[in-house]
Chain A
């Protein structure tokens, strides 16, 4: 599935200072029964966001109108657990384009990059600065600059750089994906596979 390319994102952010947010929280298994990729945003963080009678939980950040934006800022080890890409789809479908944390689980990171969400891994210190800035002013704007590989708290100018491999950066900036790349090298793959003992 093609996605919108990503260059510079300037947005307010939604803070979620919780550690070890696993993909069962992002989207519980009972919402994985669809055979198409649509509507997952409605069930993003379902059991943190809604009571069992489907009324919103007022103390959960996504139900707090003070916070909004295209950037989700979360505690360390975000996206652990199940490999369900539905977690990344739900985040994208809700409207986020970037998740910021001090640590990401591997599979979630891959899934995000594959569908056009940028996972930005920063130091624990800078993450704390962002949380504090949003706490002080929920309208705090954050700039995520992919070409420069930097993230900036615009009000104060505080800035940190982040890592991403050159291949994935190029893909995200141009909206390309791995499937196109692999299709282009199919003959090479067939020749390689011909020598496989399996």
Chain B
């Protein structure tokens, strides 16, 4: 065995390689497999066609989230296609003995929210799901990434997938964050510097003082969006913050098993002198509240800045113009003061309790702007419960907002939560692609504080003025 210093990534990856194929991928054992209603049905169909079964049903966990309504969840799902997908998940999981937290189950919620909050996600694991935001779980020091449906079928049938070993990148952010700057701003800033494809082919470790000081919720927000710069995944070394978060959660190890696990988890960090294929270092002082102005998550700027002119960006002129045309924006315009029609807070990026606390901190004692429709969607029933118990619901109600039920909702607009064509949304979700939040919808990605500031003023507003 080599004694050269190892990265966190290498420690976890190497512990899972069943076999390395020469001039090919590694066969990687998967510890946790999350599935949902949209990307799993064809995989189950594939199993049946081939006459295969599920190798380890207790390593797969199902929840319904992408295609569920966020109001009246007690009623039958009206859209027959959506209802059919939910039914398929129920039938398939029952057939193979897979845990299923369907609509109405008190544990139901967005897959990347419920995994961690129930202690299913643990440090040192390999975790996959047919969803690109699986990178969220990397916040715990796991190797977690999104896969396609053929790969879902592989994991169901063999608990393995075949992956070329990615290159490694470390992104450090040092110093202290400015007032009003949230984890979402940190990751939008990093992506704006890296571009939407800047980390493609790499697995990223986030390091430095900013992440060491960050809560688990914040770390999940950051790792969640690593895919938006093309990264295979993002991860953060587990520490006391991680262990405190996990301890006592339903499926976390207990007693002796906890002690044994903890001893192992404490070894999961990058050793001094370990080398990465690429390194970037940023300064926290350079980060202000962020907002996107274009149609990919790399097109973000500090909220007080003006929209860049095309030659200052790395993109081709015609693609850049296409993007601004779609948004109805022009080069060199300020973002502050732009009108806002919709505000969405929720999603696997910003649907956790800390996000609603931040949102409430600004709307408290203020009123929702008349021109704004706001959709406030908790990431899970557990988050919904916390919102109620902490008095956040009272603050929201007093300010003229109402709370919806958990699900992916307007992040990808598979259900009825669609932003109408041409309308502007400030959204705490992860993608501002054309039509992502509904055909013709125009999305500006931002933090819960920026979303709250827009919700009470009706225009793009610097939240630092309202704190």
Chain A complexes with chain B: yes
- One of A55-63, A106-114, A133-141, A144-152 at the interface: A106-114
Is A115 a contact of B150 with CB atoms below 8 Å? yes
Q: How far is the CA of A32 from the CA of B363 in the complex (A)?
A: 36
Among B46, B82, B164, B260, residue most surrounded by chain A Cβ atoms (within 10 Å): B164
Is residue B39 within 8 Å, beta carbon to beta carbon, of the partner chain? yes
Interface positions, chain A 103-129, Cβ under 8 Å from B, are: 103-107, 110-111, 114-115
Is B81 a contact of A33 with CB atoms below 8 Å? yes
Mask, B27-48, CB within 8 Å of A = 1, is: 1010110000011011001100
Is B45 a contact of A24 with CB atoms below 8 Å? no
Is residue A29 within 8 Å, beta carbon to beta carbon, of the partner chain? yes
Please give, as numbers and ranges, the residues of chain B lying within 8 Å of A24 by CB-CB distance: 412, 431, 433-436
Is residue A93 within 8 Å, beta carbon to beta carbon, of the partner chain? no
Quick one: closest B residue to A38, CB to CB? B42
Assess A107 versus B147: contact at CB under 8 Å? Given A32-B38, A185-B27, A189-B159.
yes
Interface positions, chain B 306-353, Cβ under 8 Å from A, are: 315-316, 318-319, 322
Is residue A7 within 8 Å, beta carbon to beta carbon, of the partner chain? no
Is A36 a contact of B45 with CB atoms below 8 Å? yes
Mask, A71-100, CB within 8 Å of B = 1, is: 000011100111111101000000000000
Please give, as numbers and ranges, the residues of chain A lying within 8 Å of B278 by CB-CB distance: none
Is residue B192 within 8 Å, beta carbon to beta carbon, of the partner chain? no
Is residue A34 within 8 Å, beta carbon to beta carbon, of the partner chain? yes
Please give, as numbers and ranges, the residues of chain B lying within 8 Å of A34 by CB-CB distance: 41, 81
Is A81 a contact of B431 with CB atoms below 8 Å? yes
Mask, A37-64, CB within 8 Å of B = 1, is: 1000000000100001000000000000
Please give, as numbers and ranges, the residues of chain A lying within 8 Å of B161 by CB-CB distance: 178
Is residue B413 within 8 Å, beta carbon to beta carbon, of the partner chain? yes
**Interface footprint category on A:** 35 or more
Quick one: closest B residue to A47, CB to CB? B435
Assess A185 versus B18: contact at CB under 8 Å? Given A75-B316, A179-B50.
yes
Please give, as numbers and ranges, the residues of chain B lying within 8 Å of A181 by CB-CB distance: 162
Is B434 a contact of A47 with CB atoms below 8 Å? yes
Assess A111 versus B150: contact at CB under 8 Å? Given A165-B25, A186-B55, A189-B158.
yes
Q: How far is the CA of A36 from the CA of B46 in the complex (A)?
A: 10
Assess A19 versus B316: contact at CB under 8 Å? Given A24-B436, A83-B146, A185-B19.
yes
Is residue A156 within 8 Å, beta carbon to beta carbon, of the partner chain? no
Is residue B57 within 8 Å, beta carbon to beta carbon, of the partner chain? no
Is A179 a contact of B150 with CB atoms below 8 Å? yes
Assess A192 versus B29: contact at CB under 8 Å? Given A85-B39, A114-B148, A185-B19.
yes
Nearest-neighbour CB distance to chain B for A35, whole angstroms, equals 4
Is A20 a contact of B149 with CB atoms below 8 Å? no
Nearest-neighbour CB distance to chain B for A125, whole angstroms, equals 14
- Please tell me which one of the listed residues B29, B164, B201, B421 contacts residue A196 in the complex, with CB atoms under 8 A apart: B29
Is B24 a contact of A84 with CB atoms below 8 Å? no
- Please tell me which one of the listed residues A1, A86, A107, A182 contacts residue B162 in the complex, with CB atoms under 8 A apart: A182
Quick one: closest A residue to B295, CB to CB? A20
Quick one: closest B residue to A186, CB to CB? B158
Q: How far is the CA of A196 from the CA of B55 in the complex (A)?
A: 15
Is residue A197 within 8 Å, beta carbon to beta carbon, of the partner chain? yes
Is residue A66 within 8 Å, beta carbon to beta carbon, of the partner chain? no
Nearest-neighbour CB distance to chain A for B160, whole angstroms, equals 5
Please give, as numbers and ranges, the residues of chain B lying within 8 Å of A52 by CB-CB distance: 421, 439-440
Is A80 a contact of B150 with CB atoms below 8 Å? no
Nearest-neighbour CB distance to chain B for A190, whole angstroms, equals 8
Is B148 a contact of A105 with CB atoms below 8 Å? no
Is A83 a contact of B130 with CB atoms below 8 Å? yes
Is residue B194 within 8 Å, beta carbon to beta carbon, of the partner chain? no
Is A166 a contact of B230 with CB atoms below 8 Å? no
Mask, B168-210, CB within 8 Å of A = 1, is: 0000000000000000000000000000110011000000000
- Please tell me which one of the listed residues A22, A35, A103 contacts residue B42 in the complex, with CB atoms under 8 A apart: A35
Selected A-B contacts with CB under 8 Å, 22 pairs: A1-B46, A1-B49, A20-B295, A33-B82, A33-B85, A36-B41, A77-B200, A80-B197, A82-B131, A83-B130, A84-B38, A84-B39, A85-B42, A106-B201, A107-B147, A110-B151, A114-B151, A178-B162, A182-B27, A185-B158, A189-B160, A198-B59
Q: Which residues in B have some Cβ–Cβ distance to A below 8 Å?
A: 18-19, 21-25, 27, 29, 31-32, 38-39, 41-42, 45-46, 49-50, 52, 55-56, 59, 66-67, 79, 81-82, 84-85, 88, 122, 124-125, 130-132, 134, 146-151, 153-154, 157-164, 166, 196-197, 200-201, 227, 230, 232, 260-261, 264, 295-296, 315-316, 318-319, 322, 412-414, 421, 431, 433-436, 439-440
- Which 3 A-B pairs have CB atoms at the shortest separation, nearest pair first? A167-B24, A85-B148, A166-B23
